[in-house]
């Protein structure tokens, strides 16, 4: 069993919330829970505020 954490690439707040969600998963889930990070709304590239690189860095951290 695992978790999908999704954020909106056009919304900084949704990206920042991922850290809180990850903390909750680590607190209330089992030790080896799998987490998949997904950046949503990739079709809105011209409105992007969260870079792909930041998403990759966060995924590596999780």
Domains in the chain, number: 1
| Average pLDDT score, the chain | 93
Q: Which has more pLDDT, 21 or 62? A: 21
Question: What range does the domain containing 57 cover?
Answer: 2-61
| 30 has a pLDDT exceeding 90 | no
pLDDT in tens, 8-26: 999 999 999 999 999 999 8
pTM value is: 0.83
pLDDT for 1 beyond 80: no
Cβ atoms of 10 and 55 closer than 8 Å: no
Rounded to 10°, the helix 52-61/12-28 angle is: 10
């Amino acid at each position: 069993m695992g978790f999908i954490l999704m954020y909106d690439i056009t919304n900084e707040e949704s990206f920042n919330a991922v850290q809180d969600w990850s903390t909750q998963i680590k607190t209330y889930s089992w030790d080896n829970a799998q987490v998949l990070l997904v950046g949503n709304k990739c079709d809105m590239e011209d409105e992007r505020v969260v870079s792909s690189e930041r998403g990759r860095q966060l995924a590596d951290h999780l």
